[in-house]
Every structure is written in C-alpha cells, then in structure tokens.
Chains A and B, each alone.
Chain A
Amino acid sequence: MLSLGSLDVKQRIAAKLVTADIEALVASIPKPVGSFGYDPWGYNEDTFKLALGAAKLLYDHYFRVTAHGLKNIPSEGRVLIVGNHSGQLPMDGLLVGVAAATNPHGPRLARAMIERFFPTVPWLGNFLNALGGVIGDPVNCSKMLDMDEAIIVYPEGIRGSGKLYRKRYQLQRFGNGFMHLAMNHHAPIVPVGIVGCEETMPAVINLAPIAKLLGLPYLPIVPSLLPLPARVYLNFGKPMHFSPAASEAEVTEQVETVKTELRRLMQLGLDERTSLY
C-alpha cells in the first residue's frame, strides 16, 4: 500500500512539473529514441521532462536567469556549446541545458559531459544519463556529433568549477580536446559567457587532501551547502567555425580565440549585472 501511496505522490508531482508547455517543448526537440524511449547513452524522454519541469522553476524563480543570443544556438545539427565553468556544483551546466531546451528559436537537448565517477554512484549515474548527461569520453563526443547532437563542454573541467572565489571570472587552463572535436567533425562552437554561477557557491578554501582521501575532485569550504540564489546571466555568442589545424600549436591558437570571445561575453554579463543576489 505504501508503494501505491508513493506512486500517487509521484504522479501528482509529475503532473505539477510537466506542464503543457514542457510537453510541447520536449515533443518539438529533434531527438530520436528507441522503442522504450531511450537513446544509446541512456537519455530518457520521460525523466527529462520531469527534470526540465523542476529545473525551469529554478531557472525562472531562483536564479532568475537572463539569457541573450539564444538564436545563436542552431535549431538542428551538431554543435558544441562552450562555456566558462564555475560554482563547485555544475549549476552552470544545468542552466545552459534549460536555456537550450526552452529556446524559443528552436529547443535542443544539449548534453552535458559528466565526471567519470558519476556512473559508479547508485541511482545518480542512471539519473544523470536519463537527463542526457554522458561521461566526457572522446568516443562519446565523436559519436554524438556524428549523430548531430548538441553538446555542452567546459574545457576548464574541474579546474574551472573547483576554483576559489578570489579567482572568479578568470578562465583557467583550457584543454584542447573540444577544438579537435569541432575541427574533425565540422561542428560549430557556440560560446556562452556565464555570469552569476561563481556567486552561487563562493569557495574560500579547498580541502584538497581530504578530497583526495574521499576520492572527490575537490572539497571546498562554502558558506552554504545549497547553491545561493545569485542572478545568472547567459550570453551566447555567434557560432564559430574552425578549419582543421596543421599543428597542435595552431590548435592552441584557435582555443585562444574562443577564450577571447568568452572573456568578451562574460564582460557583457558583468556589465549588465546590477545586483549579485
């Protein structure tokens, strides 16, 4: 009986979260799935709808996101959405995902690259996969671009998300992998400058030795365990196209071009912002 009760609650929550708008949005996302609603990476439409419903509430009312340049995300075809990473927890990935999924110019399922340890965590691994999250393996990225998917990439990785508050809005070292993917698969890069996520979880200090002991990428001391309600500004730039480079040095130069554009887009957000929270 207990299970019946919880099922009922589940259904009621689902009915609240998955509004007609969300249904219509997800239905219009160009995303092929198999006979049980799954794609090869474990994405599941029903779970995605639920999570999108919940995340949209956070997007609108908690982080009060202002997004510019959404028309720069192509409504179909392969694309890499490349942003600056921050905020300890991947709120920036979530918000960019919501922005893409609710884009009035053509909703997209933008897939986030998740850390490699997530699949080993019970429930969480399957859940993140169901939302479209995929471990950041180059084979996955190649296959997804070949299948004309949209991928969110933070080339700074944990260097960006785990950095301390005093380094806010300073781009950390970028990996070159995303540029190789873009070049080899002729995928445009849509840069997105993200402002506000640094303030959702300002970290004073990182307890690296304890993190290492626990097998975590980092363990910051933060004022609150839940992300603070900072206002978030997303500035999407024009798609950038790159032709294959002759050398790794040239690839690094092209990565610098993306970084320069990201700094400009971040500055737009910083200039627009009048209050942190």
Chain B
Amino acid sequence: MATRTGSRAAPKKTVLVTGAAGSLAKRVIARLHGQYNVIAVDFRRKVETDAGIPSYLVELHKRGFEDIFASHKVDAVIHIGRIFAHEKTRQQRYNANVLGCKRLLDLCRKYKVGQVIIHSTYYVYGASAYNPALIDEDAPLKASEVTQDLVDSVELESLANIYLWKHPELNITILRPCNVLGPGVRNTMSILLSRSLVPVLLGFSPLMQFLHVDDMTDAMIAAFEQNKPGIYNVAPDDYVPYQEAVTQCGCRKLPVLSIPPSLPKLVASVLNWNAFFPPYLVNYFKYPVILDGRLFRETFSWRPRRNLNDIFTYYRKQKLSAS
C-alpha cells in the first residue's frame, strides 16, 4: 500500500496539505519541503510558498479542487484546513468542513491516494459536568449534544470514520489534539490568551491541556511518516486549570456570572465575543475535557518537547512587548 519513505529507489512522494495559510500547516509544509513534493492548498488565500511548492486557492467542495489531483500524482493528503465557527455561517461551515471533507476523501479514492491524515479537535468529545477525565479515543462524541455549532466537527469525524473502516487503502489517521497554542496560531484559545482582558466564569476553572504548535507539527509529521491508521488523541500528560493558564499568560480576568447557565452564553453573544469566547464554547470554559494521550504517545514514540511554561511564556512576552 503506502510506500515507506526513505527507500532510496522510490521517487519523492507528493503530499497535499490543506489549510496552508494556517500556522500549523505552514510549519508542516516547512518540515516536509525538500524531502517530499508538497502542494499547498487553502480556501482563504493563495499562500506564498517557497520555490517548488505549488500553491492553490480553492474551496474543497468546489469543482476546481479535482484539477489538482488530475495534474499532480498525490500520494498523501494532510487535511488541516477548517473553517472555524466564528468565520462563516453554520451552513457555509457545514458545506466547507463536512461536504468538503467528503469530497476530499472521494477524490483520494478516485486518484488512489495512499494516505490521509485528518486534523480534528478535542471539542468533539463535548464539555459536560459528567465527563470522566482521561477520555479515550473510543468515548462517544457528545459535542453535538452541547451545541449545534459543533455538529460539523462531529460530522466530519463520523464521515472520516466511515471511510477509515470502509476504505482501508486510504490509510486514514484522525488526530484529535487538545488546545494547540503558540506563535501565529489563530484558533479560539490562542486569540483568547493573546488578549489582555479575558473572560472567566465565576466559580469555574476547568482543567485543560495545552500543546505547543511545534509539538503538534512533530505529531503530524510522525503520524505521516509512520503511517499507522487509526484515531488518536494528541495531548500531553500535564494539566492546568483554565484560570491559572489565564494568569500565566499575563491576562487580566474579567469575571462573568456563571449561573444560570444561559447567562454567560447571553453575555458572550451580546458582546459578540465570537472570535475568542464564543457562546457555543462556554461549556468548555466550565467543564474539563481531559484527553488520554497515551495511545498516540506510545504508538508513535512522540513526546511534546515544550512544557506548559514554554507555551505560556510566549503569550506573556507578547503582552510585555506590546505595552
């Protein structure tokens, strides 16, 4: 099936990376470049890339996407690109994330792509008071119970799961990372911790896990190079309460009344905190979603090399240099 990398006779593999404008994908591309032929794809803009890396502006669920497969012999796809909830409407997000992923997987089958890595999120487990800690990969995905706004994340996963079992030749690996932070990262948590004043729910400080974007890059490269299909949580075995993380990142706390449960949601939507404290994620600032990352760590002999303090220092310094 998937040819092993590093064998001298084999020609360079071609890897297509989606979401190329994002900081994680940029790092993944930089790491792959040279050893592999890389194709960069993004739906937001045509990404500036190094010489020798073709770059495309295309939406996955639109027709033009197939042309890339037709004109390049793609051996592997690393699917990172995703529309966050604060970027588009729910319908547009569903089209891009779920239908886009389905189209991607169908094209992978049609053009005999031998490996697919899908970047998912820990949000799929859902934040609930009844969550046990150290959630395994086979735990039910309850995010859609929490909010309609995460349905696309869960659907994308179920879709990838179906293809994982029905089409083993695709060698699908699904990664569910905890909060990824670091320079250039524009996800909700990173935007939040970059702010000087950060909302916290009074009386709630759920335990969280954080991963440096460089460590996540290592994880993605390990998953790609070792090719062991399956579903994996990607998380360190270190934990810190949200409010402690807020303090460590040099943010001031803005306490928000947490009871009744609808109140913080209302506050978040009235004040339009969609980019960094969206109403649909309020539960994740209330209840912990702690992953058991052992399976990935052991299967791929991967360990994060940066600790919590390294991660928080970046946000602290960022504020110092701004002031």
Interface residues, chain A, with chain B CB atoms under 8 Å away: 34-36, 38-42, 116-117, 119-126, 129, 134-135, 137, 139-140, 143
In the complex, what distance in Å separates the CA atom of A40 from the CA atom of B134? 7
Interchain CB contact under 8 A, B203 and A40: no
With a cutoff of 8 Å between Cβ atoms, the chain B residues found around residue A117 in the complex are 129
With a cutoff of 8 Å between Cβ atoms, the chain B residues found around residue A39 in the complex are 239
Interchain CB contact under 8 A, A143 and B133: yes
11 additional contacts (CB under 8 A) given A36-B241, A143-B132: A34-B238, A35-B238, A36-B238, A36-B240, A40-B133, A121-B203, A122-B202, A125-B129, A126-B204, A129-B207, A139-B134
Contact with A along B288-323 (1 / 0, CB 8 A): 101010000000000000011100000000000000
Report the minimal beta-carbon distance from A56 to chain B, rounded to whole angstroms. 25
Interchain CB contact under 8 A, B134 and A122: no
Number of A-B contacts (CB under 8 A): 76
In the complex, what distance in Å separates the CA atom of A129 from the CA atom of B139? 22
With a cutoff of 8 Å between Cβ atoms, the chain B residues found around residue A40 in the complex are 133-134, 207, 237, 239, 290
In the complex, what distance in Å separates the CA atom of A38 from the CA atom of B130? 19
Contact with A along B162-204 (1 / 0, CB 8 A): 0000000000000000000000000000000000000001111
The contact of B133 among A35, A41, A121, A126, by CB within 8 Å, is: A41
The contact of A123 among B130, B134, B203, B241, by CB within 8 Å, is: B203
- What's the interface size class on B, roughly? 20 to 34
The contact of A122 among B241, B258, B292, by CB within 8 Å, is: B258
Interchain CB contact under 8 A, A143 and B292: yes
Interchain CB contact under 8 A, B287 and A139: no
Q: A135-B132, A143-B132, A143-B134 are in contact. Are A36 and B307 (CB under 8 A)?
A: no
Contacts A/B (CB < 8 Å), 7 sampled: A34-B238, A35-B308, A35-B309, A40-B133, A40-B290, A42-B207, A122-B201
Interchain CB contact under 8 A, A134 and B133: yes
**Interface presence of B244 (CB below 8 A):** yes
Name the residue in B136, B207, B240, B258 with the highest tally of chain A Cβ atoms < 10 Å from its Cβ: B207
**Interface presence of B121 (CB below 8 A):** no
With a cutoff of 8 Å between Cβ atoms, the chain A residues found around residue B205 in the complex are 126
In the complex, what distance in Å separates the CA atom of A117 from the CA atom of B292? 24
In the complex, what distance in Å separates the CA atom of A38 from the CA atom of B308? 12
With a cutoff of 8 Å between Cβ atoms, the chain B residues found around residue A35 in the complex are 238, 240, 307-309
Interface residues, chain B, with chain A CB atoms under 8 Å away: 129-130, 132-136, 139, 201-205, 207, 237-241, 244, 258-259, 287-288, 290, 292, 307-309
With a cutoff of 8 Å between Cβ atoms, the chain B residues found around residue A121 in the complex are 203
Report the minimal beta-carbon distance from B264 to chain A, rounded to whole angstroms. 11
The contact of A126 among B237, B238, B241, B308, by CB within 8 Å, is: B241
In the complex, what distance in Å separates the CA atom of A129 from the CA atom of B132? 12
In the complex, what distance in Å separates the CA atom of A139 from the CA atom of B201? 27
Report the minimal beta-carbon distance from A126 to chain B, rounded to whole angstroms. 5
With a cutoff of 8 Å between Cβ atoms, the chain A residues found around residue B139 in the complex are 139
In the complex, what distance in Å separates the CA atom of A117 from the CA atom of B309? 33
Interchain CB contact under 8 A, B133 and A38: no
